[in-house]
Amino acid sequence: GDSVTQMEGPVTLSEEAFLTINCTYTATGYPSLFWYVQYPGEGLQLLLKATKADDKGSNKGFEATYRKETTSFHLEKGSVQVSDSAVYFCAPSGGTSYGKLTFGQGTILTVHP
């Protein structure tokens, strides 16, 4: 079945530092790729997505590029803020059928002032 390997955390950064959270996946067919974020005390929400190879998803300064050749979807942000502290989940969506999400284990990010 589908699987996701996500960079282990927790990740602790100072404000304005560069962030990379690695994500690689295995999936049947041609999945769409998602990053979801869970802020403290809040529900899971979409951060960004990409639906075909070489597409770049972006939102709130975060970016991730769909790399089919390396089956990766690494999340990056050039300058993190304290408000980015959250848990980040990488998730491919079923490639040959419907949109069932397979989640990575999540990466806890803490940003200090």
Partner 1 sequence: GAGVSQSPSNKVTEKGKDVELRCDPISGHTALYWYRQSLGQGLEFLIYFQGNSAPDKSGLPSDRFSAERTGGSVSTLTIQRTQQEDSAVYLCASSLWGARSTDTQYFGPGTRLTVL
Among 65, 101, 108, 110, binds partner 1 (CB under 8 A): 101
* 40 binds partner 1, rule: CB under 8 A: no
State residue 58 phi and psi, 5-degree precision.
Answer: -150, 150
* 60 binds partner 1, rule: CB under 8 A: no
Among 21, 80, 89, 109, binds partner 1 (CB under 8 A): 89
Decide: 69 and 4 in contact? Cβ < 8 Å: no
Q: Which stretch binds partner 1 (CB under 8 A): 9-17, 62-70, 73-81, 104-112?
A: 104-112
Q: Kindly state the DSSP code that residue 76 receives in the 8-state scheme.
A: E
Question: Which CB atom, from 55 or from 63, has the smaller least distance to partner 1?
Answer: 55
Distance CA 13, CA 26 (A): 29
Among 32, 35, 62, 88, binds partner 1 (CB under 8 A): 32
> How many C-beta atoms surround the C-beta of residue 50 within 10 A?
20
